Amino acid sequence: MDRNTIIGFSLIFLILVGYWWFTSPGEAQQALEKRQQDSLARIEAASKANSARIKAADTIAKVSKDTIADKSGLKGFAAQLGGQAQTVVLSNKTVTVNLTTLGASVESVVLNTHKNADGGALTLIPARSAEFYYEINMPNQVLRTDRFNWKVAAQSSTAVTFRLENGTGGYIDQIYTLNAQDYLVDYKLVLHGIQDDIVKGNRDLRLTWVNTPVRQEKNMKPELENSTVVYKMPGDDPERLSAASPEKQNLKNKLNWVAFKQQYFSSILMSKEDIDKEAELAWEEVQGKDQIKKMRASLWLKYDQEVDKSYSLSFYFGPNEYNRLKNLSTGIEDAKLQDIIPKGWGIFGWVNQVLVIPVFTFLSSKVASMGLVILLLTLIIKLILLPLVYKSYISTAKMRILKPEMEAIKEKTGGDLQKTQLENAALYKKAGVSPLSGCVPMLLQMPILFAMFQFFPYAFELRQKAFLWSQDLSRYDSVLDFGFHIPGYGDHLSLFTLLMTISTIIYTRLNNQISGVTGQMKWIGYFMPVIFMGVLNDYACGLTWYYFVSNMVTFAQQFIIRRFVDDNKLHAQIAENRKKPVKKSAFQARMEAAMKQAQNRKQMPPKGKK
């Protein structure tokens, strides 16, 4: 058992001691013994290096002149069908792009400041996993650009120009330039003097981009669940293909960008105005080791057979960081690249965008430890919610005070539900208590609860950030691998999830004591935390750490509130409310009339009987 694991189990011990002290402050302290596990050793799953990740030098290939049987239809372009492909490297502090003269395309991409789950260099695009080529209709042949060995026409430390010549002074250039912005590569396609080589009436160039990303994280399952094709059309919000099953989309409108998105990284192709209508986007399953999905984009660039024509596009090869993507200068109006990251639908997305992400970003810029950032984020959110917690507590306490009278009404009516509800409603009005006043504050807190559920699994800032015994807050914190799978739970023990579950059960017990709830509802409150223990066992432990801290702060809030709220004063307030005349709203009057009418109908004998 290592030091960090001992800290985790010590926290469980302290919670139990604190609970005993909180519920029994006047009784003698009892000794609590904590069983220690005989051997808790983290078993790191052995993972082999991805066979697809090989050095760029090994990708040098030869293009045979026999690849295309009929070269006559290619005219002067056919001269560049043969030869040995060479690799050209563009690199800066954040990204290394290996380009091949075979097709003048991106051969592989390495992110220099990031590591994969195995500790190796993060290869976003492995060698031989991507395709990028144009198809141009010539009179007797389709010119496919990845079959040609392009010349290096110009080269510097940050840019390279590849050229394919037609033998009569015309050419096609593909130009790659490292942008001053991190992870961004400018790309330009230039057509000069090839208009006579193209079939008359052919108006477009077809661009095919294919990528098969590989696993970057330890757990393959979330990678599969969160990898898909995302795209944006001008004036619209980004949309995505289903990540659950293979899908194909044929789009009628133009595109601003298309992204091959993984859980924490993306490859994005962007253009302000050059990607035309009729794009086809798709992904399909693959069987290769560590391969995620095969993603494909078939795009069109409009070409009216001009003598000189150029297209300006750009690539983003980098992390799915919300603020980085939001502030990336692409030349596209309202690009919304940050919406590649799921924030949740409806009000949950709004809470993340307006509250959670800004606060989290601010704290991340001031505090180095992501675990402490989550703790501070929790404190801020709980402080914002404190008035709701206080109101909910007061309402629950009042309902507890009225419970004996409610039980008497239930006994008096003999269990008649409608009559019981009618008399309870009258009791609430006289006492000045609303049964909904305790529920509404809790419901208002739910959007934040579910927003967090959506936020943490996609927060790139948590990736590979250690805290206490967890080596990575973006994945589960296994302190014990079972070696077998338990249905509904998993094959490991997540300590943060266990802490969350224990604290939730204790919170449920405290809440039951305050509300006086009994019967079936009491046990449902204990059952749900156990269910969520299984659900969240595989989730990012940053989320369960947040829920655990949230529970602990709630304990502190209730402890303080109980010290300042006097039940005798609540009794007096309810008694004072009984003396006041009851004012009924129009809604209450209608509801009461409806309930009385239903009660009268129930008491009337059936037709035909007296």
Q: Quick one: pLDDT at residue 590? A: 63
pLDDT band at 38; cut points 50, 70, 90: very low
- Look at 208-217, 315-324, 396-405, 473-482 and tell me which has the smallest mean pLDDT: 396-405
Nearest to residue 394, comparing CAs of 552, 564, 518? 564
Edge-to-edge strand ranges of the sheet holding 280-284: 141-144, 130-138, 204-211, 294-302, 280-284, 247-250
pLDDT band at 495; cut points 50, 70, 90: very high
- Look at 96-100, 145-149, 483-487 and tell me which has the smallest mean pLDDT: 483-487
Share of the chain above pLDDT 70, in %: 75
Flag whether pLDDT at 238 surpasses 90: yes
Between CA 19 and CA 23, with CA 20 as vertex, the angle to 5 degrees is 80
Name which residue leads in pLDDT, 504 or 571: 504
Q: Is 319 helix (H, G, I), strand (E, B) or coil?
A: strand
Flag whether pLDDT at 307 surpasses 60: yes
Radius of gyration of the chain (CA): 33
Q: Quick one: pLDDT at residue 432? A: 65
For residues 283 and 295, what is the distance between their CA atoms, to the nearest angstrom? 4
Q: Quick one: pLDDT at residue 509? A: 80
pLDDT band at 404; cut points 50, 70, 90: confident
3-state SS string over 125-158? ECCCCEEEEEEEEECCEEEEHHHCECEEEEECCC
pLDDT in tens, 140-175: 888 999 999 999 999 998 999 999 999 899 999 999
Mean pLDDT for 5-32 is: 48
Helix, strand, coil percentages for the chain (3-state, nearest 5): 40, 25, 35
pLDDT band at 315; cut points 50, 70, 90: very high
Share of the chain above pLDDT 90, in %: 39
pLDDT in tens, 545-569: 999 999 899 888 888 887 777 667 7
- Look at 157-171, 199-213, 415-429, 478-492 and tell me which has the smallest mean pLDDT: 415-429
| DSSP per residue, 36-78 | PPS-----PPP-PPPTT---GGGG--B--TTSSS--GGGGGGG
How far from 98 is each of 105, 124, 148, CA to CA, in Å?
Answer: 9, 12, 17
Nearest to residue 524, comparing CAs of 504, 548, 503, 544? 504
Flag whether pLDDT at 528 surpasses 70: yes
Q: Quick one: pLDDT at residue 452? A: 86
Phi, psi of 299 (to 5 degrees): -120, 165
Flag whether pLDDT at 89 surpasses 90: yes
Q: Quick one: pLDDT at residue 30? A: 38
Mean pLDDT for 57-69 is: 37
For residues 391 and 156, what is the distance between their CA atoms, to the nearest angstrom? 67
Listed in order, the ranges of the chain carrying CATH 2.70.98.90 are: 62-341
Query: 501-517 burial by CB neighbour count: b if 16+ within 10 A, else e?
Result: bbbbbbbbebbbebbbb
Q: Quick one: pLDDT at residue 122? A: 94
User: What single-letter DSSP state applies at residue 214?
Assistant: B
β-strands 204-211, 87-91 pairing: unpaired
pTM: 0.77
Q: Quick one: pLDDT at residue 44? A: 35
Give the side-chain half-sphere CA count within 13 A for 259.
Answer: 31
User: What single-letter DSSP state applies at residue 83?
Assistant: S
Residue 208 forms beta bridges with which residues? 133, 298
Edge-to-edge strand ranges of the sheet holding 95-100: 87-91, 95-100, 105-115, 121-125
Flag whether pLDDT at 316 surpasses 50: yes
Element (H or E) spanning 280, and its range? strand 280-284
Q: Which residues are CB-contacts of 310 (< 8 A; sequence separation ≥ 6)?
A: 188, 189, 190, 191
Q: Quick one: pLDDT at residue 453? A: 84
CA dihedral 208, 209, 212, 216 (to 10 degrees): -170
Q: Are 456 and 358 in contact (CB under 8 A)?
A: no
The answer to whether the Cα torsion of 439, 443, 445, 449 is positive or negative is positive
Q: Which residues are CB-contacts of 436 (< 8 A; sequence separation ≥ 6)?
A: none
Structure tokens at 576: 């004072």
Between CA 469 and CA 480, with CA 475 as vertex, the angle to 5 degrees is 50
For residues 526 and 510, what is the distance between their CA atoms, to the nearest angstrom? 11
pLDDT in tens, 271-285: 988 888 889 999 999
- Look at 250-254, 290-294, 505-509 and tell me which has the smallest mean pLDDT: 505-509
| DSSP per residue, 484-524 | EEETTTEEEEEHHHHHHHHHHHHHHHHHHHHHT--THHHHH
The class (CATH top level) of 62-341 is mainly beta
Q: Quick one: pLDDT at residue 581? A: 59
Q: Quick one: pLDDT at residue 487? A: 87
Q: Are 107 and 99 in contact (CB under 8 A)?
A: yes
Q: Quick one: pLDDT at residue 599? A: 59
Q: Quick one: pLDDT at residue 438? A: 58
pLDDT in tens, 431-479: 666 666 556 666 777 888 888 888 888 899 999 999 999 988 988 888 8
Q: Quick one: pLDDT at residue 92? A: 94
Q: Rounded mean pLDDT of the chain?
A: 80
pLDDT in tens, 569-600: 776 766 766 666 555 555 556 656 665 666 56
Residues in the chain: 610
- Look at 22-31, 439-448, 598-607 and tell me which has the smallest mean pLDDT: 22-31
Q: Quick one: pLDDT at residue 97? A: 96
